[in-house]
Structure 1
Amino acid sequence: MTTAMLVSGVLQNLGIAAIAALFYDIVLRSCPTPSVRHTLVALVFAAGAVGSMTLPVEVAPGIIFDLRNAFVILAMSFGGWLAVGATTLAAFAYRLWLGGAGALPGGVGILMCAAAGIVFALHFKRRRTGLFAFAVLGVFCAASLVSMFLLPFETAVAILMKVGPVMLVMNILGTMIVGGIVDRQKRQFERENTLTREASTDSLTRLANRRAFDMRGPDLMEAASQRGDACALMLIDIDHFKQINDAHGHDVGDKVLQHLAVLVRSNVRKTDLVARYGGEEIALVLPSHDAKRAFGLGERLRKAVAGTPYRHEGTLEINLSVSIGLYASDGVEDVEPFATAFKRADMALYRAKEAGRNRVEIALAA
């Protein structure tokens, strides 16, 4: 076995890494839920480790070299506990199944890399990683070569003297390249995710913004209609908000809006759409809420706001109230268009204001 053959084998393994990175990117972008994403990422890393062992370089009879340990040592950083567990188990089992004189040292090396990867991931949690960090991780990956001394001492020394330096360099470079490729895919996904989230989020209240409400609201109501399910649309408006701004300033007014956003968000489900629609107005789409349930939620929100004054810096207390307009459909087949439903809720809000504020008014589907 020559150095050229070892390098050639590593290059073939990098092809496996590139394919794994492609599937990693597909998983990040296409999985609808975190649980499914974590499961599939674990499978990608496990498949990468096993796939690497299908293109090994035999450095001595029964002793192979590949980039499985790069996948094992990186699994925790990019896939969490499930990924490192699945990758370690798959790599360990497959190496033992391949057999040969290097089966036991190879298995121990896999376990060493898994442990190093866990320590690395926990240490760099919430920190930015880069090629230098992956180089350090590659050094730990290369350190697993000490497992070769589970072979007869003379055999281990002979192998390491012959190809040890090249294997060490290839371990470091392999970990850096695999880590760099996957890390780039992850950062690109996170960057796009952040831009998408910011484009649909109100910067002050951290609720959905009007654009997101106008895009998602009709889909939610249409989905409820197709299921024959009830759905409600709610508009909440702070009473005398202009007076709060005039008396205390817009900074305090902004804090009042944030206060209201927290109260509303804490009283509804995560699946409900809650948006700052404009000014001091919050709009909600509430799937599975018929007229009775929606009115009950409106009353609960109204009382929560009235019973929770906003306290500014411990010196100023502002009593608040809200007026609420509701539109409710009880799951009839001919549900009115979203724009009509919104207009009905807006008219109900107007009636609540005209009737003295601090109340809930409801408009039923025609």
Structure 2
Amino acid sequence: MEISEIVAAYIRVLALAVLVVYAYAWVIRTVGQRLTRGVAAGLLFGLGGILSMNDPIVMRPGLIYDARSILLILSPIYAGPIGTVIAAAMMGAHRFLLGGVGATGGAVSVVLVALCGYASTFIPRHRVGTGWVRSLLLGLTTISSFIVLVFLPPDIASELLLSAAAPVMLANILGVLLLADLLEREKQRVRMVRALENEASVDPLTKLPNRRVFQRAADRCAKEASNRGRPFSIIMLDVDHFKKINDTWGHSVGDSVLSKVADLIRQTVRKTDIAARYGGEEIVILLPNTEGRDASTVAEKIRHAIESEDLIVGGTAIKVTVSIGVSAVDSDNTNIRATIEAADKALYRAKTAGRNRVELANAA
């Protein structure tokens, strides 16, 4: 391989890397479920390898060099096991279909590089980190792609080993260093953005969504109720005698009580329900597709779970109870504010009736 060919190959890898990074950034930003994200990333890496194979450096008829090994070695890290299998299957099948003297060896090398990349994920992170050391190691690991030489006639294999091994390794190492750096930077950037979004939407004490998140979700439920007739309910919950807890044991214990109550609520409600800190010791819960009677059942489960749990502070068991108001919405009236006020009034009735009880409001 001439120097000009190496430069051309690196430029192609650079262009492909930019495309892959942009597409990968879109995938990790928009696809939430881990398995689906892995599948999408695997399809992306596989497509990148196919595009690279369609614009290769032809070392001799039927023998090509492209960026597939660079993408494959990084697939286990950024696409996961499922994504790696998808990417390897796509690249291996495409290389075999391209034909030529190196078709079989090329397909085998795809599988071997993918396996080597997956094996590298078992190396403890504290030993190699996520920087250039890991990228260099992965770049060197692409030497496993040279398995293709075993499937070639001895004279061709020895000629390629002497003339092309060093340039190919150099291009692979540089490509892995470049692509890994770009992917890692994008991954960290998305992670930072998500962390900032999480801080802006989660109550720091209870780790529950805040009032803003609840309002957005309630607005969506109101729209569903209005357009499709889907009911939903709202639960308002207040810790009984919370001021006494703070006065007796201190505000740090009061914070622990709220945090524990939030944990118990999370364990009791469905994943589709949204429990949010509404203010002070008040917690509001949105239950989509739930009528008032069913919401009252959920509220009673929450009340019982909290009543049954003792919070141990300094060897002393603190008994905590809550009062709960429930209000339901149907397609005839989807006013969120009125529903919350109805739940709040029901909560007040629960408190005046003796606390540690559930009251159901009239339909909003």
TM-score, reference length from structure 2: 0.94
Tell me how far 1:264 sits from its aligned partner.
0.8
Aligned to 2:338: 340
- The residue identity in structure 2 corresponding to 1:357 is R
| Range with greater deviation from structure 2 (45-54 or 142-151) | 142-151
Percent identity, please: 34
Cα pair 2:108 2:147 within 8 Å, conserved? no
Cα pair 2:326 2:360 within 8 Å, conserved? yes
Distance 1:271 1:144 in 2: 47
Distance 1:318 1:290 in 2: 34
Distance 1:169 1:201 in 2: 47
Tell me how far 1:121 sits from its aligned partner.
2.2
Distance 1:296 1:10 in 2: 64
Tell me how far 1:183 sits from its aligned partner.
1.9
Q: Residue 99 and residue 174 in structure 1: after superposition, are their counterparts in 2 closer, same or farther (change >3 A)?
A: same
- The residue identity in structure 1 corresponding to 2:342 is R
- SS for the counterpart of 2:207 is coil
Backbone CA RMSD of aligned residues: 1.9
| Range with greater deviation from structure 2 (292-301 or 144-153) | 144-153
Tell me how far 1:176 sits from its aligned partner.
1.4
Residue 146 of structure 2 is aligned to residue 148 of structure 1:
no
Deviations 1:320-346 (A, max 9, x none): 1100111112x23332x2112111111
Residue 136 of structure 2 is aligned to residue 107 of structure 1:
no
- SS for the counterpart of 1:116 is helix
1:256-267 paired onto structure 2 within 5 Å: 256-267=257-268
Distance 2:99 2:270 in 1: 54
Aligned to 1:182: 183
Question: How many residues are aligned here?
Answer: 363
- The residue identity in structure 1 corresponding to 2:114 is A
- The residue identity in structure 1 corresponding to 2:86 is A
Aligned to 1:355: 353
Tell me how far 1:146 sits from its aligned partner.
4.7
Residue 43 of structure 2 is aligned to residue 43 of structure 1:
yes
Aligned to 1:87: 87
- The residue identity in structure 1 corresponding to 2:26 is I
- SS for the counterpart of 2:134 is helix
- The residue identity in structure 2 corresponding to 1:242 is K
Tell me how far 1:355 sits from its aligned partner.
1.5
- The residue identity in structure 2 corresponding to 1:345 is A
- SS for the counterpart of 1:323 is strand
Q: Residue 125 and residue 326 in structure 1: after superposition, are their counterparts in 2 closer, same or farther (change >3 A)?
A: farther
Cα pair 2:102 2:148 within 8 Å, conserved? no
Distance 2:9 2:299 in 1: 66
Cα pair 2:9 2:171 within 8 Å, conserved? no
Cα pair 1:75 1:87 within 8 Å, conserved? yes
- The residue identity in structure 2 corresponding to 1:325 is G
Distance 2:324 2:133 in 1: 56
Distance 1:169 1:221 in 2: 60
1:1-366 paired onto structure 2 within 5 Å: 1-31=1-31, 33-123=33-123, 129-312=130-313, 315-329=315-329, 331-335=330-334, 337-366=335-364
Tell me how far 1:191 sits from its aligned partner.
1.3
Cα pair 1:325 1:345 within 8 Å, conserved? yes
TM-score, reference length from structure 1: 0.93
- The residue identity in structure 1 corresponding to 2:43 is L
Tell me how far 1:168 sits from its aligned partner.
0.9
Cα pair 1:10 1:66 within 8 Å, conserved? no
- The residue identity in structure 1 corresponding to 2:178 is I
- The residue identity in structure 2 corresponding to 1:27 is V
Q: Residue 332 and residue 255 in structure 1: after superposition, are their counterparts in 2 closer, same or farther (change >3 A)?
A: same
